[in-house]
Amino acid sequence: MTAEPTVSRVVEFDNAGLETWCDEERFAVTAERIAEYAAATNDPIAAHRAGEVASPVFGIVPVFEAMMMPVIDVAPMDIFGRVVHGEQDFHFHRAIRPGDRLVTRAKAVGYASKSNGSTITILIECRDEDGQLVNEQYLTAFFRNIDAGKTIGQAAPAHKLDESLRATEPFAVVAQHVDDDQTFRYAPASGDPVPLHLDEQVAKDAGLPGIIAHGLCTMAFASWAVLTEAAGSDVHRLRRFAVRFAKMVFPGDDLETRIWKVGAGDGVTTYAFETVRGTDVVLSDGLAEIAD
């Protein structure tokens, strides 16, 4: 007997919510918060652990309050139980430093109907108090088994991994381990208190085997793997860092981040990467651009 196919629910998204900036959010960066985030992501880079400069994925911390606000302007509230973080794409203008006072705003720039659900693309701008861009981020929110019926506006920039790379030797392979208490350290460091990462019963009630690791924590693991292997542990050289969240990660998991060099030009070298647990790809379509 074959399983019945899942039927997508047809939902009308609100086009009026596109291209509308949310209210600005402000965040004061401290050395202590930078160091806490580095420790919570097992980051081995000394400058990050000392709070001298922020690791790349720390960039999510100042924007956390703003990043999902525009989704509410497009998608009806009653489908929020089906949303997951699909992709994240950072474009860096400079690294975040202690003493920065950052101002963030976000807007939905488009949505798309796909065979297994629909996506909303969010553009996030993070600036310093003088108005200079620090980073731009594209967040793709994925609604499982929701059919928006059409595709409107922009998608996030592409960063798909060339499948043929898997038949070649990686430039580097970095072994990593998700600690049993990882989520309990990451939640306060990141400002993400979602109970699926902290409460075993809540996770099981949601149909999961237990608490799951934060996707952005796994992304941070991949970032320090790429920085240590391809950028001399220098976050100032990183120009872009993007992933797709492919599968859930659990406390206790052993991971590997595999990195391939794929191109160079105009003073930037491009790397593709993915993070795996055994044969399962948990972060896919990884792309890093590093200044020479």
DSSP per-residue string spanning 221-258: HHHHHHHHHHSTT-GGGEEEEEEEE-S---TT-EEEEE
| DSSP structure string for 117-162 | EEEEEEEEEEEETTS-EEEEEEEEEEEETEE-SS-EE--PPP----
Q: In whole angstroms, what is the distance from residue 45 CA to residue 232 CA?
A: 10
What does the buried/exposed string (b/e) look like for 38-77 if buried means 16 or more CB atoms within 10 Å of the residue's CB? Answer: bebbbbebebbbebebbbbbbbbbbbebbbbbbbebbbee
Q: In whole angstroms, what is the distance from residue 119 CA to residue 155 CA?
A: 9
Residue in 106, 104, 109, 105 with CA at minimum distance from that of residue 18: 109
Asked if 243 contacts 222 with a C-beta cutoff of 8 angstroms, the reply is yes
pLDDT of residue 190: 96
Map out the domains of the chain as residue ranges: 1-157, 159-292
Residue in 40, 85, 80 with CA at minimum distance from that of residue 246: 85
Whether pLDDT at 6 is above 80: no
Whether pLDDT at 100 is above 90: yes
Whether pLDDT at 3 is above 70: no
Mean pLDDT of 186-193: 94
Distance between first and last Cα of the chain? 56
pLDDT single digits (tens) 28-72: 999 999 999 999 999 999 999 999 999 999 999 999 999 989 999
Q: In whole angstroms, what is the distance from residue 51 CA to residue 46 CA?
A: 9
pLDDT single digits (tens) 137-167: 999 999 999 999 999 999 999 999 999 999 9
Residue in 276, 245, 259 with CA at minimum distance from that of residue 176: 276
pLDDT single digits (tens) 197-243: 989 998 898 888 999 999 999 999 999 999 999 999 999 999 999 99
275 backbone φψ class: left, alpha, beta (φ>0; ψ -120 to 50):
beta
pLDDT of residue 290: 98
pLDDT of residue 168: 96
Whether pLDDT at 1 is above 60: no
Q: In whole angstroms, what is the distance from residue 117 CA to residue 99 CA?
A: 41
Which H helix or E strand runs over 191?
none
- In the chain, the percentage of residues whose pLDDT exceeds 70 is 98
Mean pLDDT of 2-12: 67
Which H helix or E strand runs over 275?
strand 268-277
- Average pLDDT of the chain is 94
Architecture (CATH level 2) of domain 1-157: Roll (3.10)
Domains 1-157 and 159-292 share a fold: yes
Mean pLDDT of 178-192: 96
CATH of domain 159-292: 3.10.129.10
Asked if 237 contacts 226 with a C-beta cutoff of 8 angstroms, the reply is no
Mean pLDDT of 244-253: 97
Residues facing 126 on adjacent strands? 104, 135
Mean pLDDT of 109-114: 94
pTM over 0.85: yes
pLDDT-derived band at 267, boundaries 50, 70, 90: very high
pLDDT of residue 194: 85
Residues facing 245 on adjacent strands? 283
Look at strands 146-147 and 9-10 and give their pairing.
Answer: parallel
pLDDT of residue 206: 81
pLDDT-derived band at 82, boundaries 50, 70, 90: confident
